[in-house]
Structures are given as C-alpha cells and as structure tokens.
Amino acid sequence: MAVLLTEKTRILVQGITGKEGAFHTAQMLEYNTKAKVVGGVTPGKGGQHSEHGLPIFNSVKEAVKETQANASVIFVPAAFAADAIMEAVGAELELIVCITEGIPIRDMQQIYPLVKSSKSILIGPNCPGIISPGIGKMGIMPGFIHRPGSIGVISRSGTLTYEAVAQLTAEGLGQSTCIGIGGDPIIGLNHLEAVKILAEDPQTEGIVLIGEIGGTAEEEASEYIRQYVKKPVVGFVAGQTAPPGRRMGHAGAIISGGQGTAQSKMEAMARAGIHVVESPAEIGQTMKKVLDKQR
C-alpha cells in the first residue's frame, strides 16, 4: 500500500511557470494515474493557465481554496524556497516536497522548528521527491523504472534511489513507496521517521535503507529497527572511501571525530539485524534472497 502519496493526494506545483517546474509538471501529469496535479502557484500570474492547461494562483492558500489541494511540490529558486515551504505549511498542506537545492542552511534553521510543529510533512529539500508506483509521483524520479509492489525505499541519494529501484524491478520486486529524503544537513522527514511510516504499512513487505556519510540519522534509524521492526531491511551506506572531514557531494555528507563514517553506520546497521551490502549493485539481489528465505 502506498504511504504519504496516495490516491487521495491532490498536488499543487509551486513554481509551475519556471523551466524545471513546467518540465516536471508535464512528467507528473503523464505518470500520475490516481494522485492528481490540480494547479500551480506563481505570484503575479494568478488567473492564468500553465502550458499544461492547469490554473495558476497567486498564493497557496488561494489555490487550496479553489482546488482542495492537500500537497505541494516546490520548484522555486533557492533564495525563495524557505518562504515557499512556509507558505505551504501556512496553508496546512499534508505533504510538501521541496526539490530545490542550495537553500541556505540559515534559512532552513529558521523554519525547521515551525515545520516540525505543524501538521505538514516536509520531504527535502534537495531531494528527488516521492513516488508511489501505480498511483503517482511528486518530484523528479523517473517513473518508468518503478513497478507497483511491496518494497519501501528510503534514500538520501537520488541517484542511488534510482539504482536500487531498477535492481528491485529487475528482480521482480515492485515498490510500495520510494522516498528520497534529501542530503542537506537540515531536512524534513528523516530516516527514522520514514522507517516508522513504512514499518507500520501492512502491505510494505521489506525496506531498503540507503544512507550516506555524515550525521547520525542512519544510526538512530538502525536502533529503532533493532527494537521494533520485524520486516527485513537491506542497508547500504555511500561514501565508504571518504577521508575524515571531506565534503562529499551533498552538503550533509560531512564526517568528523569518528562519527558519521560509513563504517560506523554499517556497524550500527549490522547490529540491528539489517542486511548490509558493501556495494549498491547488491541491493536488489540481497532483498530477493532475504524474502525468498522468509516465504
């Protein structure tokens, strides 16, 4: 069963008239079968229609009133993205996905407490979004590699999300929901929260957990899995050859003082009973073997 993004999701696109927003709106309209894209938001262009024929509104609140939207995906420049997130939070949307990368950390520090105390769930920023195969997607994930099924995927890395999904599909394992949580230091939904959501979904049979060096989020999720999750989990940590203190791609991937290393995360996963793989090429086949043993 899909989580977060379901057949009841009605989506707004903040920044629908921009190049990225317009392109990915077209992709979402083509892929989505049950979730619906119902409009866009671009201040100053309210009353017009997008190139896709969707109504454009000046504000999220106005759009929600007219379309009954309950979710938003954000494609706006980094300088304005925090404001866009807070506008969606203020409209009490259930799900907000922020694709924008390069948002200043200070901006996220300021809005983070407000986001976490609201009714909204934020995915991102700097993420590929979320996809529930057979229902719809919010963001930039390539729909054609996904198949409906029972494996949940959680990942800090967009590219590794696609790799894991392609492997699962090749092994005949479809996906319930795939969540790209983003690689910035400050994000909305984290590994632990995403694990809890998928663990509670009765139709999610197994979970793929993909982490990166930096921070302690994977360790925290692993401890929760050790105590409470009975479903099989396959884990991978990117950055195994990264030297201490090196910034590796994502802004959140910084290691120091022996914490946040790939080794420490892999050891925490192994202690939790997670099936840890050393190469992303092993994710799909490992999940297939684990499930075959259980069935």
- Active-site residues, by number, are 250
**Dihedral, CA atoms, 180, 184, 190, 195, nearest 10 degrees?**
40
H helix runs in 241-282, sequence order: 262-271
Q: Coil, strand or helix: which one is 243? A: coil
- The length of the chain is 295
For residue 69, what are its two tokens?
A: 């939207």
> Please, what is the end-to-end C-alpha distance for the chain in angstroms?
19
Q: Coil, strand or helix: which one is 280? A: helix
Q: What gap in Å lies between CA 115 and CA 96, rounded to an integer?
A: 10
Q: What gap in Å lies between CA 259 and CA 144, rounded to an integer?
A: 37
Specify whether the CB–CB gap between 37 and 13 falls below 8 A. yes
Specify whether the CB–CB gap between 251 and 135 falls below 8 A. no
